[in-house]
Chain A
Amino acid sequence: MDMSVTITGFVALYIFLLAAFAGYEIIGRVPAILHTPLMSGSNFIHGIVVVGAMWALLNAGSTLEQVIGFVGVLLGAGNAAGGYVVTERMLEMFKPTNKAPGADKE
């Protein structure tokens, strides 16, 4: 992959280190009620794998690579789109309390 910055050796280790701590800190302070949506949300975020699969497919030089690349993009897109929809549906339902007990619309 042709990129202006090359990530090698220790630079990669530093990224691993910092990103791992970031993930740990973000989840560590989450109330239990959000565990399932967050699992689903983090599931969505690793859907970024689709861009890697896109690169692989665009650079496929043989039929076998094309087939595997196609499957990769298909699966990655499913991961990203499905993860997004499911997470959004769960989070949509988190709304604050109704005004006062008993004072409901019914």
Chain B
Amino acid sequence: MFSAFLIDAAYFVAAFLFLYGLKRMASPVTARSGIVVAGGGMLVAVVAAFLYGFDVSPRAEAHLGTNLFLLILALGLGTGWAWFSGKRVAMTDMPQMVALYNGMGGGAAAAIAATELLSGNALAHGVVVTVLAILGGLIGAVALSGSLIAWAKLDGRMNKTWRLAKHQYVNACLLGGALFIGAIISVMAIAGAADTPVLLIMLFFAVALALGVLLTTPIGGADMPVVISLYNAFTGLAVAFEGFVLQNPAMIIAGTVVGSAGTLLTLMMAKAMNRQVSNIIFSDFGGEDDGADGEIQGTMKSADASDAAIAMYYANKVIIVPGYGLAVAQAQHKLYEFVKLLQKQGVEVSFAIHPVAGRMPGHMNVLLAEAGVPYDIIFDLEDINEDFAQADVAIVLGANDVVNPAARTRKSSPIYGMPILNVDQARQAYVVKRGQGKGYSGVENELFFLDNTSMVYGDAQKVMVQMIEAVKSLG
């Protein structure tokens, strides 16, 4: 019994450290220490969890040695693989790694549900516990398979959106089917069935996994960050439910905190993209612009990288709008080198970050921080949008939809209503782009056709090198 007390005490410490760590993570100044604090909580909890070995159920006593061996093996393999892959992954690939690790957490919650249902523990504790185990298992399994699809899509392993005929109808059937099977399992618990319905439980998880896959396949890459955030919240909820099944307060608290925080984060992301979460899950991304507001007027002009560089060199105020194209070209280091040259000349340089720049809110800030850009010259949309009117030059690097004035004016456009950066109000705008393609949303960009906009075609990295050379030759 003393081991149970120690475990309880350790979980209390862990829950405190999680909350305190998350709180510290919420400010840029203390964020770094926040994850270390939370990590300490995890370590305490995991070490304490070994004490479960002193007090196992009678039917598991004979297997204790084997189970302990399996436990250490699984911990070692899981930790080792994740540690190694997490250290190695490039910063631009972070979103899909978060998706992958999140799916693993959902899978672990589903696995707990499965063992609790199969061993009869959940059924023995009554109907409420059984229902929670089933719901947690359903949500966890959906988070697992859904996150894996999200990972495959963001990692470029699955490029097509894939949908069945009557896709939403099929999804509704799967969800209904999973709930129906879950209800049967619960009813058997009430009736006090002697045998564990192993096949039914297996079928239940198979249906739940299929649901996660089919929910995610029709969703396009642009919406994937919102989906990952949603599945993150799902996993939190599943962990909380399984925590109740296991009477584990650390899991209940940590899971619930993540469930609510993740839901809020999801809504904030969706709002920043001018999308509704229900639209993302249940319909496809925008149709074609039907041209109801008239064709776009004007022509695109192109300029050399050196012209753009020199214009910025002699400007007073320059605003840089970085997008995912910049990060893909790995040009953020060169960009900051260029910015330092401008600053040396006395040019006031600031970065304007759209809420969904990069692949997730805040992703672009991480990518700029990686290049060493100090965060006090990086501004959010609402803090800098007024300044574009005073800027001599605004330069857009690998961004498209987030600077499209159509979001303000063209009601027929799929991005209508999305907040955008007012690049069109700058005295001169340059757009660095690989080619003449459309943005992620598939919408033509009016900005490119304006009189005060010039296009600089080329890979962002090469363009930055040319700009640095042009400015250095001025000396």
Contacts and interface: CB of A to CB of B under 8 A. Distances in A.
A61 B60 contact: yes
Given A35-B268, A73-B78, A1 B256 contact: no
A22 B236 CA distance: 14
B259 A20 contact: yes
Interface string B237-264: 0011011101111111111111111101
Contact of A91 (B7, B31, B53, B81): B31
A66 B70 contact: yes
Nearest to A40: B98
B253 A61 contact: no
B309 interface: no
B360 interface: yes
A89 B87 contact: yes
Interface stretch (B167-175, B276-284, B367-375, B384-392): B367-375
A34 B108 contact: no
Given A1-B248, A7-B252, A47 B105 contact: yes
Contact of B74 (A6, A28, A73, A89): A73
In this complex, the member of A29, A66, A86 whose beta carbon has the largest number of chain B beta carbons within 10 angstroms is: A86
Given A51-B250, A73-B74, A92 B32 contact: yes
Q: How many residues of B sit at the interface, in one of the four size bands?
A: 35 or more
A33 B362 contact: yes
Interface stretch (B43-51, B185-193, B455-463): B43-51
Contact of A68 (B14, B114, B248): B114
Contacts of B89: 86
Interface string A4-24: 111101001001100111111
Main secondary structure of the interface of B (DSSP, over half): helix
A23 B257 contact: yes
B134 to A, nearest CB: 15
B232 A43 contact: yes
B13 to A, nearest CB: 12
Contact of A58 (B67, B82, B121, B128): B67
B99 to A, nearest CB: 9
Contacts of B31: 34, 37, 91, 94
A52 B77 CA distance: 17
Interface stretch (B33-41, B211-219, B297-305): B33-41
A9 B264 CA distance: 26
A23 B67 contact: no
A59 B52 contact: yes
Interface in B161-209: 198
A100 to B, nearest CB: 9
B75 interface: yes
Contacts of A36: 94-95, 98, 358, 360-363, 365-366
Nearest 7 pairs between A and B by C-beta? A77-B78, A72-B111, A85-B86, A82-B82, A76-B108, A97-B374, A79-B105
Given A4-B8, A34-B27, A82-B100, 7 more contacts: A42-B232, A47-B105, A54-B46, A68-B118, A69-B115, A76-B78, A81-B78
Interface of A: 1-7, 9, 12, 15-16, 19-24, 26-62, 64-66, 68-98, 101-102, 104, 106
10 contacts: A1-B246, A6-B247, A16-B252, A34-B28, A36-B362, A45-B257, A61-B59, A75-B144, A82-B100, A82-B104
